[in-house]
Amino acid sequence: MQDMLSKLRSITNDATLNPAQKARYLSLEAENSLAYPSLDAETQRALDERVICDMYEGHAPYKPRYVLPDYSVVLRDGSDYLELPVPETLDEAINTLMIAYHHVPSVTGMPVYIGQLDELLLPFCEGVSDDALYEKIKLFWRYLDRTLPDAFMHANIGPSDNRVARAILRVDAELRQIAPNLTLLYDPQKSGDEILAIAGENIAACCKPHIANHPVHADAFDERGYGIVSCYNVLPLAGGASTLTRVNLKEVALRADDEAGFFADTLPHYLELNFRLTQARVDYLFDESGFFDSFLVNEGWVDRDRFTAMFGVFAMAEAVNLLQDTEGREGRYGFDEVANALGHRISAAIAEAIEARPLDKVWRGHALLHSQAGLSDDSEATPGVRIPYGTEPDPVTHVQALAPHHQYYDAGISEILTVDESVTNNPEALVQLCKGAFASGFREFTVNVASNDLVRVTGYMVRLSDIRKFRDQQGSRTNTTVLGAEAAEMTGILERKPRVVSNELSPGYGQ
Amino acid sequence: MNSPRATVSKILTYSIVDGPGNRLVIFLQGCNFDCTACHNPHTIGECNHCGDCVPACHADALSLVDGRIVFDPLTCDQCDDCLEVCPINANPMVRDYDVADILELARRHRPFLSGITVSGGEPTRQLGFVVALFEAIKSDEALAGLDCFIDSNGYLDRSGWESLLPVTDGVMLDIKSFDDAVHRELTGKENRKSLRSAQLLHEAGKLYELRFLLVPGVTDGDDELDGLIDFVAGLGGDVRVRLNAFQHHGVRPQALEWEKMPRAGVGKVAARLRGAGINNVVTPAVYL
Ligand code: SF4
Ligand code: SF4
């Protein structure tokens, strides 16, 4: 108790956090003083040893990790609960969204999904000039960054090429803000080369947007669609993910005698324990928390049946290299065909196990596999199935080494390709790399341009200049800078050839 | 039929600085200039199998067999010691490729490629190979859409270009100096041929980019820059001019006496060219 009180005290007195950031950390401490949903002893031990992990989501899941509202509902019907009339003009539509966002919970307390913005706003754009549209989007963008300063917040545009998408790309490159994060859904049949070329120029300017392989994602979901949120999590629209749990493949490999034992026993064992952990957390959310009685469900923004459970894996690189060692093989992950193939086999085995293991109160009855990009306290564990920082080969070799994994990761997978600054003279190269990556089976294309102040920390952006300021104790307006600074210290991100990190969430204060 | 072969010093399947988009780049060994400022001097010479590099290799990757140098890529650890000792700026690690080898490589990487560039060395010295390669690319269905570029010093006469141009989409042409005396001093050759090539390529609509290397105190003086401006004006029309900055990376000892060209210096020259009406000036993004 004394420990806890002194921790609360240090949060309240931390000069580098603003009041809202303090309130969030205080609430996390309070939640985590409650008992955990009950787990069997084996699962508990694996969790304590962090072979499996709950992302420190909190002891009492009272909201889903990610909520992807179908905002077309509130734009079409207004909201009784929020006392919002049906919007008729573009200003009213944007205003409705701005209000709506503040009522969408997530693990960070900020909305992670702000909608398929072009599709949502296009119906309101008739009679609005391009100049007016640009000005309105610009104000909207500034509002988002200043009031919801979290780079996990994610906007989607595409796959059609349209006025709203173009206005957003123009504003985004001009303002170079951390928030919101942005993904262009690309479909070679629908999008056309022009918008992809604009996206290439934007990436050269500010490392945004990500580009998503729309046909592949669309195939993995249903008519109601999907959304891309946070760091490349791909989830059912009008639903989301109840929880994200993850397996540290390095820790699993450390507990295996050899490759055969890994596949026959160790891996299946820990996958099963992670299923149990997932089910316990989902049960609490559905059966105890009362979340699904909220207006979001009652008004049809989300559907109770459309929440998946994300099954994350990470430290593939370390796992493969450990197994290579036990088998007396020298080849390293990312560089050697045998090592790469072993990695692909691990992904396939996990996907198969997920297919074979039903879960209750989960969309389609099974979890969705996700290549998990890390936490700020992961050290010596490479995010997802990525190649370790600072050792990545050139982008083409990089894509070719990892592409075969992508087919298995319906809930999202991303690699960060590092491209040097010369590309600012040649953004066309980014377009070609993207096409090559998609033709090879990549689900997502993300680039970090070496010289940019805005850099990626897994899926979110931080400003290097902000990290420097934060370290100098001046505090940061944006939540992700705190994570970026932690990640920079813990995981050696700035060592990455250019410099990028990976991690998705800060577990709590001082961790 | 015998497929033409070429001596290749290096192949890149990812390059964003050798023409538009991402390119497959084939560096051909051997050059007809001997530029003091060359950033890849070991691509200049052609091996005469003297064997001097054999004892320099700590990995036993080199040997002389029947009077010819033999290189074992599997034991080589890319230390580049052999390049240092070669008295004629040659490279014992070059490999022979035929057109089919390159086509196969291009097919494997096709989705990632905007095009293919032959560079060097001076690629036009292996003219027959380049023509055969480009012809083969243009008639290969799987490679449709790849454009074919050449990175050249321009030391090629009209008939040479005439055989190349029908299958070439663009040329990046380096002019080392607009002053013939300086050019001879820097390269060992006159500049007339290169200037004529630029003219001819521009008229044919194939001059993708005119490149000029800025060496402080050597090629960044008023006369030189006026020469560049006048030459571009004389070509007429829109010419893309790429300024390169002399750096120390890779150059031979005698070039280390020159200073590196800083970003600010390049910026100044670029502003001057723009002021003189050259709108399309490209400057390097990276300085080492
Ligand atoms: S590479 Fe140079 S040193 Fe080696 S054998 Fe050839 S000419 Fe002689
Ligand atoms: S680069 Fe290769 S061949 Fe040359 S000296 Fe080093 S190990 Fe030997």
Closest atom of ligand 1 relative to the B62 alpha carbon? 4
- Cα of B60 vs centre of ligand 1, distance in Å, is 15
Q: For residues A197 and A158, is the Cβ–Cβ distance under 8 A?
A: no
Task: Name which residue sits closest to atom 7 of ligand 2, judged by CA.
Answer: B76
- The ipTM assigned to this model is 0.87
- Radius of gyration (Cα) for chain A, nearest Å? 22
Task: Name which residue sits closest to atom 7 of ligand 1, judged by CA.
Answer: B47
DSSP A492-511: -GGGSSS--B---B--STT-
Q: Is the pLDDT of residue A178 over 90?
A: no
- Cα of B51 vs centre of ligand 2, distance in Å, is 13
Contact flag B112-A428 (C-beta cutoff 8 Å): no
Q: How far is the C-alpha of B141 from the C-alpha of B150, rounded, in Å?
A: 21
Contact flag A426-B20 (C-beta cutoff 8 Å): yes
- Taking CB atoms and an 8 Å cutoff, what residues of chain B touch A394? 13-14
Q: Is the pLDDT of residue A504 over 60?
A: no
Read off the pLDDT band of A155 (50, 70, 90): very high
Q: What is the mean pLDDT of residues B234-244?
A: 92
Strands B207-214 and B170-175: parallel
Tens of pLDDT, residues A417-442: 888 888 888 999 999 999 999 999 99
Closest atom of ligand 2 relative to the B77 alpha carbon? 7
Tens of pLDDT, residues B62-84: 999 999 999 998 899 888 899 98
Angle at B137 between CA B131 and CA B142, to 5 degrees: 175
With CA atoms as reference, report the closest residue to A323 among A314, A332, A313: A332
Q: A19-28, A194-203, B174-183: which range is least confident on average?
A: A19-28
Q: For residues A465 and A453, is the Cβ–Cβ distance under 8 A?
A: yes
Q: Which residues pair with A460 in a beta bridge?
A: A457
Task: Name which residue sits closest to atom 8 of ligand 1, judged by CA.
Answer: B50
> Any idea where the domains of chain A sit in the sequence?
2-33
Query: CATH assignment of B5-42+95-282?
Result: 3.20.20.70
Q: How far is the C-alpha of A178 from the C-alpha of A481, rounded, in Å?
A: 9
Strands A239-248 and A307-314: parallel
Residue with tokens 């900020």: A110
Whether B140 lines ligand 2, by a CB cut-off of 6 Å, is: no
A188 interface with B at CB cutoff 8 Å: no
Contact flag A423-B16 (C-beta cutoff 8 Å): yes
Contact flag B13-A425 (C-beta cutoff 8 Å): no
A399 interface with B at CB cutoff 8 Å: yes
B288 interface with A at CB cutoff 8 Å: no
- Taking CB atoms and an 8 Å cutoff, what residues of chain A touch B22? 396, 429, 432-433, 436
Closest CA of chain A from B115, distance in Å: 10
Q: Which amino acid type is present at position B60? A: D
Length of chain B measured in residues: 288
> Tokens at residue A465, please?
């200049």
Average pLDDT, chain A: 89
More confident residue, A497 or A177: A177
Closest atom of ligand 2 relative to the B80 alpha carbon? 1
- Taking CB atoms and an 8 Å cutoff, what residues of chain A touch B241? none
Q: A302-306, A466-470, B85-89, B131-135: which range is least confident on average?
A: A466-470
Whether B93 lines ligand 2, by a CB cut-off of 6 Å, is: yes
Q: What's A187's DSSP letter?
A: -
Give per-residue burial for B146-183: e unless 16+ CB within 10 Å, then b: bbbbbbbbbbbeeebbeebbebbbbbbbbbbbbbeebb
With CA atoms as reference, report the closest residue to B3 among B107, B97, B98: B98
Q: Is the pLDDT of residue B53 over 90?
A: yes
Closest CA of chain B from A207, distance in Å: 16
Q: Is the pLDDT of residue A153 over 80?
A: yes
Q: What is the mean pLDDT of residues A73-98?
A: 98
With CA atoms as reference, report the closest residue to B71 among B8, B28, B115: B8
Task: Name which residue sits closest to atom 1 of ligand 1, judged by CA.
Answer: B92
Contact flag B112-A436 (C-beta cutoff 8 Å): yes
B88 interface with A at CB cutoff 8 Å: no
Q: What is the mean pLDDT of residues B24-36?
A: 94
Residue with tokens 């089919």: B100
> Any idea where the domains of chain B sit in the sequence?
5-42+95-282
Tens of pLDDT, residues A109-152: 788 999 999 999 999 999 999 999 999 999 999 999 988 877 78
Angle at A457 between CA A487 and CA A255, to 5 degrees: 60
Q: How far is CA A208 from the centre of its chain?
A: 14
Tens of pLDDT, residues B240-284: 999 999 988 778 888 999 999 999 999 999 999 999 999 999 998
> Tokens at residue A155, please?
């906007």
